[in-house]
Chains A and B, each alone.
Chain A
Amino acid sequence: MHTNYMLFLLFFSVAPWRPVVGLEIHAQINSNSKIFSGSQVQFIAPPNSLVSFFDASLPGTLPVLNRRCVEAAVMTGLALSCSINKKSLFDRKHYFYADLPAGYQITQQRLPIAVNGNLSYTFCVGAKQSQLVTKNVRIKRIQLEQDSGKSLHNDARSQTLIDLNRAGVGLMEVVMEPDMCCGVEAAAAVRELQLILQTLGSSQAIMAEGQLRVDANVSVHHPGEPYGVRTEVKNINSLRFLAKAVDYEIQRQIEELENGGTILNETRTFDYKLGCTIPMRDKEGKQDYRFMPEPNLPPLILYDAKSLPANIGDQQVVNIDWIQERLPDLPSVKRVRLVEQYGILPEHSFTLLNEDGLMEFFEDVVRETQMNPKKVIGWVISELLGHLKQYDLTVKESPVNSLSLADLLNLLERRVISSSAAKQVLKELCKGEGKTPLQMVKEKQLELIQNQSELDQICQAVMERHQEEVMEIKAGNRKVLNKLIGLVQRATERRADPILVKQILEKKLSQ
């Protein structure tokens, strides 16, 4: 979008539009049981098997708050530099829908568990995507709430079927301020949030399983003027679609306004097949959620080291300071450490964090090899990842483990094999035949010729056969030396160390 927009400005030089993007993200909490009941949380299970009487909203049932969900929200709040409210409240949000059996959702409207945070995210710009830009988005609030069930449509019999397995699963709704301005930024912010949630373990945040769902609020306005009317694109469940939906919506609004139209405050959905957003016929007039305090849940009180009560059992206390002390290193901290410790490029640190287990793989290889980490990173990111991509494998499924790659790099480092031979061996190893690098090298006879006198003889023979070239070099044309080196390489089937060959040839030529 960036480039399109720039071109648009360049050619038409009209008053620029400034897009404004805010996000609301629902993250399913990674817990064994639901937020207010003891039924299991699992993505795939027979219909209505993970449902308690409370989840089905049978009369006489009451919500009982899951401590784990509270801790996950506090952890997430702290990781996003929020202030944690020591007192937060639960409310009912009413709406009628078949997969919401109670007719209301328990959420935190008045006083959420965490507020006023911050998320820093980085994305690539430039023609080659080589320049990193870091931006901040403010986190307005994080609230605990229940998920709804699922409606499924049976076309054959035109039935709507309800599965309540998801009803009552704990959600953290993260509300971001409208600090972003395009699809790339929105996707980068959500990606960073996803990595943070996965690092904390507070959510598995698998978008394909609906564990992370994004609503994007989009508007455009002229700088210096008030914000435009916004639309909300709901329920986006992939990063790619998020970027596309946001950019499409910005472009649509600009075109609409340029053509003298107006923007309606409406809810839209992204049709990934058509690649555009379309309005959802939903709100007849303004929706009235009839928020009211949840009468069955007293305020949620959290403690810190100072306010820790003596008379309450540990089971009943959530201690903010205790959670803060045990927060794992966040992705941003890990990246800085990788750059400092190994001297790798910042963009490589992003690549390492971008796939689960890749950073650990890299560090394991570094630990087991004498090779400089700056060189190791190339072998991991360009070579190994390239091969894995070809076989559509993740690092965790890699047929080459970190020890094996380290062995190979050690052979290269000790000049047992050449760099091109190492690449050839790695390619073979990726086929997963279970051979060690050394076995592979022996089998294919890829070792460099170590024997100095053997090389000496080969060089001598090549020189004798190419007297013309030798004369040229002696006459001062040093470029021809490379040709001789190449000839020696060919004679040894690339098993000669080029540096050694060069030394030998130079010595012989100067005699």
Chain B
Amino acid sequence: MWALRNSGCLCAAWSWGRSRLARGTAGGRQTDQNPEWQLEEQKLLPQKKVTMELLDHLERLALVDFRNWEGVERLEKAIQFADQLHEVNTEGIEPMDSVLEDRCLYLREDNITEGNCTKELLQNASQTADEYFESPPDSLQKAAFCKLRCSFFAGENLVTGNIPLPKLEEHESFLQDSN
């Protein structure tokens, strides 16, 4: 039950937390509120100091700005919390990803059952244009993530780099031609 993957403590903790939630919704057993094992503070790995490089990297991955004392402190606590998992004895136990892994994966028939709810979907968006979601303009993103030194969205971004995106006019004339 407590077997965990060795790859990266944060990742393992995340995965474990999510699976527990998922099982809860699937109507499974309750989580053990009173675990038999106990933590021995002194046995924990020495607390890691978060370097500026690591902070940089995490900010970029998360697209969240938390470079202040409060943020760093919270991060260090989170790491320490996750490090507890290293204390669990997993000797001879086969690693698992999820408590669902021995369940059958339900297969759906290939039928169209959803869609046609553009209005409802766009209600949630802060900015829209016609039937499209609108991604924040370049300048806004740069202001928001100015510390990140790289801009992720429109124009200059991770995937398309400096390659121009397809043009709206071309797309729309395409749509019209097809009607």
Contacts and interface: CB of A to CB of B under 8 A. Distances in A.
B162 A281 contact: yes
Most chain B beta-carbon contacts within 10 A, residue among A50, A67, A160, A290: A160
B98 A293 contact: yes
A284 interface: yes
Contact of B105 (A96, A292, A301): A301
B61 interface: yes
Interface stretch (B33-41, B68-76, B80-88, B113-121): B113-121
Nearest to A316: B107
B167 A64 contact: no
B165 interface: yes
Contact of A64 (B11, B106, B115, B158): B106
Nearest to B164: A153
B55 to A, nearest CB: 14
B156 A39 contact: no
Interface stretch (A41-49, A397-405, A409-417): A41-49
A290 B61 contact: yes
Contacts of B98: 293, 295, 298
Interface in A365-411: none
Nearest to B17: A295
A69 B107 CA distance: 10
Q: How large is the interface on B (under 10, 10 to 19, 20 to 34, 35 or more residues)?
A: 35 or more
Given A38-B108, A47-B130, A160 B155 contact: yes
B15 interface: yes
A154 B172 CA distance: 11
B135 A51 contact: no
B150 interface: yes
A219 interface: no
B63 to A, nearest CB: 5
A122 interface: no
Contact of A66 (B15, B18, B108): B108
Given A39-B115, A152-B132, A298-B103, A282 B161 contact: yes
Contacts of A154: 129, 167-169
Interface stretch (A14-22, A29-37, A429-437, A470-478): A29-37
B2 interface: no
Nearest to A37: B114
Interface in B121-173: 121-122, 124, 129-135, 137-138, 149-150, 152-169, 171
A47 B171 CA distance: 10
Most chain B CB within a 10 A radius of its CB, from A267, A281, A298, A301 = A298
B178 interface: yes
A402 B105 CA distance: 49
A161 B135 CA distance: 6
Contacts of B77: none
Contact of A96 (B111, B152, B154): B152
Contact of B154 (A38, A95, A153, A292): A153
Contact of A160 (B100, B154, B171): B154
Interface in B90-110: 97-98, 100-110
B131 A46 contact: yes
Nearest to A268: B161
Given A158-B137, A280-B162, A163 B132 contact: yes
Nearest to B138: A158
Contact of B112 (A40, A46, A153, A160): A40
B154 A151 contact: yes
A89 B105 CA distance: 11
Interface in A51-71: 51-54, 56, 58, 64-70
A116 interface: no
B161 A297 contact: no
A65 B11 contact: no
Nearest to B179: A44
Contacts of B152: 96-97
Contact of A162 (B111, B112, B133, B169): B133
Contacts of A70: 107
Contacts of B137: 158-160
Given A152-B132, A279-B161, A49 B118 contact: yes
A151 B150 contact: no
A98 interface: yes
A315 interface: yes
Contacts of A199: none
Contacts of A48: 118, 121-122, 131-133
B11 A161 contact: no
Nearest to A50: B115
Nearest to B97: A293
Nearest to B53: A285
A96 B161 contact: no
A299 to B, nearest CB: 6
Given A150-B166, A161-B132, A40 B115 contact: yes
B129 A46 contact: no
**Residue among A53, A269, A295, A299 with most chain B CB within 10 A:** A295
15 contacts: A32-B111, A33-B112, A39-B112, A40-B115, A65-B108, A67-B107, A98-B157, A152-B132, A154-B167, A161-B134, A162-B133, A282-B158, A295-B97, A298-B104, A299-B105
Across the A-B interface, give the 8 residue pairs with the lowest CB-CB distance, nearest first: A280-B161, A38-B113, A160-B154, A68-B110, A52-B114, A293-B97, A161-B132, A39-B115
Interface of A: 31-33, 37-40, 44, 46-54, 56, 58, 64-70, 89, 94-98, 150-155, 157-164, 267, 269, 279-284, 287-288, 290, 292-293, 295-301, 312, 315-316, 318
Interface of B: 5, 11, 14-15, 18-19, 22, 57, 60-61, 63, 97-98, 100-118, 121-122, 124, 129-135, 137-138, 149-150, 152-169, 171, 174-175, 178
Given A49-B116, A66-B110, A298-B103, 15 more contacts: A32-B110, A33-B108, A39-B112, A48-B132, A52-B115, A64-B108, A66-B107, A89-B97, A96-B158, A154-B168, A158-B137, A160-B135, A161-B132, A282-B158, A295-B18
